Structure 1
Amino acid sequence: MARFAISLVLLTLTFCAVLASFSPGDIALGLVISAGVLLVFRGFLFGGRPKPMPDLPTRLLYLPVFVWATLWNIIKGSFEVIAVVMHLKPLREPGIVAIPIGERTPTGVAVSALATTLSPGTYLVEVDHERGVWYVHALDARDPDAVRRDHEEFYQKYQKRVFP
């Protein structure tokens, strides 16, 4: 029930944001349409019977920390790219690094890939579920173990509590 309610609110907010109107009539229409979509596609969206969301309060508590850490990585990556583009720092050895998926869930892999790609200087190339790795192109891949260590440390410190 909680998952349905959260989905209903989020879909309604999305509907109103797309309309760029939060008038009472538009909110009511958004609620009706969102409820209809959720009821019609309930089996597909929730896998039949909705499962409870584990540790939702804990996830919400750590979400700002995860967002801040991601923003900090974006800032650091931006300065690194600026330094290379302005020839303040040499471009030494860009390359592709294989990073183990580890204990990440499919959602965790997607969020890790998104957080990595948002930060300038790195981006997702491919996820290979059969081999259990995801490939990232890094601006500085001289030490692939350091790149792997940085991604694992970010996951363990900031992401795991929010998007395992």
Structure 2
Amino acid sequence: MNRRPLHRLPAVLWLWLLWVLLWSTPTAVVVTGGLLVSVAVVFAFRLPPVSPQITVRPLRVLRLVGGLLRNLVASAASVAWAAVRHGPRVRAAIVEMPLSSDSDLLVTGTSLLTTVTPGSLVLEIDRERGLLYVHVLPVAGPEDVAGERERLRRAEAAVVSALGRNAAAASSQPPRKESP
């Protein structure tokens, strides 16, 4: 019995989910068409194997989600207060943060966690130098920039702790040095 189709099932399910989410209306045509398209794509094109670069730790994922929710509320309140208090004159800054993780999945997770937080937006990921550039607001001065950088470091550490392959080793490594 050929077990190869079973290895492709996660890719089919993932593409099917993306299809339905992108159409945003799960009608019978969208669901059926999405299944047919995802099966056709997976079997027509040879997709590269994805190496397991993450290890899911359920309790740490729950802690990550809890921290995200807490951060969402605090950031939304901060941005709302700044908008009411300062209006269009809210000060912002671009924060450069060295990444400690080299995994594409972990960097993406950190970027997503950062971008969904009100008042912060990932502008660029410099993979060569291992830097993340984030637009943040509100910022009153240099101490707020340092605080935002620390918040970003904690967010990355939480992602690495929850999903990193070797969380203990990744969290103990110093950030990568910038190349000249």
Q: Same fold (TM over 0.5)?
A: yes
Deviations 1:121-150 (A, max 9, x none): 221222222322111122225223332221
Shift of 1:3: 5.7
Q: Identical aligned pairs, as a percentage? A: 22
1:151 and 2:157 are equivalent in the alignment: no
**What residue ranges of structure 2 are gaps of 5+ in the alignment?**
166-180
Q: Using the TM superposition, name which of 60-69 and 121-130 deviates more.
A: 60-69
The one of 35, 42, 55 aligned to 1:38: 42
Give the aligned residue type for 1:99. Answer: M
C-alpha distance in 2 between matches for 1:16 and 1:125: 28
- Go from structure 1 to structure 2 and tell me whether the alpha carbon gap of 1:152 and 1:7 turns closer, same or farther (over 3 Å shift): same
How many residues were matched structurally?
A: 153
The one of 9, 16, 20 aligned to 2:26: 20
Is the CA contact 1:107–1:163 (under 8 Å) kept in the aligned structure 2? no
**What residue ranges of structure 1 are gaps of 5+ in the alignment?**
none
SS in 2 for 1:42: coil
Is the CA contact 1:116–1:124 (under 8 Å) kept in the aligned structure 2? yes
SS in 1 for 2:118: coil
C-alpha distance in 1 between matches for 2:74 and 2:12: 37
Is the CA contact 2:54–2:163 (under 8 Å) kept in the aligned structure 1? no
SS in 1 for 2:101: coil
Shift of 1:63: 4.2
- Go from structure 1 to structure 2 and tell me whether the alpha carbon gap of 1:121 and 1:37 turns closer, same or farther (over 3 Å shift): same
Q: TM-score, normalised by structure 2?
A: 0.66
Q: TM-score, normalised by structure 1?
A: 0.71
Q: Using the TM superposition, name which of 11-20 and 106-115 deviates more.
A: 11-20
C-alpha distance in 1 between matches for 2:112 and 2:37: 29
